[in-house]
Amino acid sequence: MDNTSQILERSAELFSGQRLLLVNPTADGLTRSLPADWTLWSWDFAVTNGLSGQVSEQQLVFSHLCPAVEALDAVILVMPKAIERAEYALAQIAPLLAVGKPIYLVGEKKGGITRAERLLSQYGTTPEKLDSARHCQLWRVVTDRVAAPFKLEGWQERYSLALADQHVELLSLPGVFSHGRLDEGSELLLAEGKLLPRGKVLDFGCGSGVLSIALARRNPDCQFELVDVDALAVYCAQQSLQLNGVEAQVYASDGLSEVHGRYGSVISNPPFHTGIRQDTSIAERFFNQVTRNLLPRGELRIVANGFLRYPPLIEQHIGPCVVLRENNRFKVYSAVAPG
């Protein structure tokens, strides 16, 4: 069981038998081991799948929006990786609570829980640390004010990008990759003018949808599908496509779990690498699995940090790998499946 769930179990007397909303849960057995009337809100499709069957379908919600649960005794938020995602979640859950009901925040010390006091002080004057164990902390604040109603439009950021051949309008939410800007890797990939093979295109880890929007306009003979594990990204991609008048299919997927059929090309700024870690096992698994989704002569086109040793992995699983474009940090790789 995850460390955050173990520290919640240590304080089971606070939660047993209560009507609880658990936000950003981990895919473990907490809801089975701690008896309560649980509703779970997750924006992670993989976690949602992992928790399927532990509660009813109505009590397991995968969405960019918090479910409107009534008569809650408390809310528990597991600290997200992005601090702005925590603020976004708290802004939605606080209005569901009556004054005097607690908000709990749990997380790992290396994952931002040290900011708990600042985050919770917006909803009550006396945040308190209840427990510290397994490199985690559990915090609580008892709400002492009526929270402002949540308005999604106040959290959405709409911005314009001026590419060499077009303007793109994007909508973004907190915690979505490259929120409010065009990241350097995607910019380099979009600087490549080589057309994609005709037919279906899969945009893997689509974020707000910038790659598909720009490339769909350049490749009118292609039909785009966008997938992401994050509910907020799926929503933002849908909205961004509408803003730009581009038609495409968008859906959630845990990796390639929901991707069926074969494609003329797969494009991605893949979410495999964080910081300076050089573990390529997730990338290798993707390269291995994506082969079943590429048509003969289908192209994989990705952008990645230049120091990552992707070419040997790509060539092992797909085919000869070439560098289409590079700068001092990133490289755009292309590989064509045999056929």
CATH code (residue 24): 3.40.50.150
Q: What is the pLDDT of residues 26-63, one digit of tens each?
A: 999 999 999 999 999 999 999 999 999 999 999 999 99
Given 152, 174, 208, the domain boundary residue is 152
Q: Among 99, 118, 152, which residue terminates a domain? A: 152
Residue 9 has pLDDT above 50, yes or no: yes
Residue 276 pLDDT > 50: no
Q: What is the pLDDT of residue 275?
A: 43
pLDDT of residue 270: 86
| Domain final residue pick, 152, 186, 210 | 152
* Residues 102 and 238 grouped into a single domain: no
The better pLDDT of the pair 271, 110 is held by 110
The angle formed by the CA atoms of residues 34, 39 and 41, to the nearest 5 degrees, is 115
Same-domain check for residues 201 and 171: yes
Q: Do 263 and 174 have their domain in common?
A: yes
Tell me: do 185 and 76 sit in the same domain. Answer: no
φ, ψ dihedrals at 95, nearest 5°? -65, -15
Nearest-angstrom CA–CA distance, 283 and 42: 24
Q: Give per-residue burial for 253-274: e unless 16+ CB within 10 Å, then b.
A: bebbeebeeebbbbbbbbbbbe
**76 and 107 assigned to the same domain:** yes
The answer to whether residues 142 and 178 belong to one domain is no
- Residue 284: what are its φ and ψ, rounded to 5°? -65, -40
Kindly state whether residues 177 and 236 are assigned to the same domain. yes
pLDDT of residue 282: 82
272 near 305, Cβ under 8 Å?
no
284 lies in the same domain as 170: yes
164: nearest Cα among 218, 206, 216, 212: 218
Model pLDDT, residue 273: 54
Question: Rounded CA gap, 285 and 314, in Å?
Answer: 10
Specify whether 115 is located in the same domain as 168: no
Helical (H) or strand (E) element with 154: none
SS3 state of residue 83: helix
User: pTM for this one?
Assistant: 0.95
pLDDT at 268 over 50: yes
Note whether 274 and 249 are same-domain residues.
yes
Confidence of residue 104 (pLDDT cuts 50, 70, 90): very high
Mean pLDDT score, 192-204: 96
> Within 13 Å, how many C-alpha atoms sit on residue 334's CB side?
18
Higher-confidence residue of 208 and 278: namely 208
Residue-by-residue DSSP string for 311-325 = HHHHHHHT--EEEEE
What's the number of domains the chain is made of? Answer: 2
The mean per-residue pLDDT over the stretch 141-158 comes to: 97
pLDDT digits (tens, 9 = 90+) for 108-119: 988 889 999 999
The answer on 211 and 308 residing in a single domain is yes
Residue that has been written with the tokens 């409107």 in this structure: 68
Position 177 scores a pLDDT of 85
Domain that holds residue 266: 156-336
Beta-carbon contacts of 308 under 8 Å, excluding residues fewer than 6 positions away, are: 273, 278, 280, 283
Token pair in block for residue 318 = 């797909």
Task: Give the tens place of pLDDT for each residue, 210-222.
Answer: 999 999 999 999 9
Mean pLDDT of the 223-245 span: 97
Residues 190 and 96 in one domain: no
What does pLDDT average to over the chain? 94
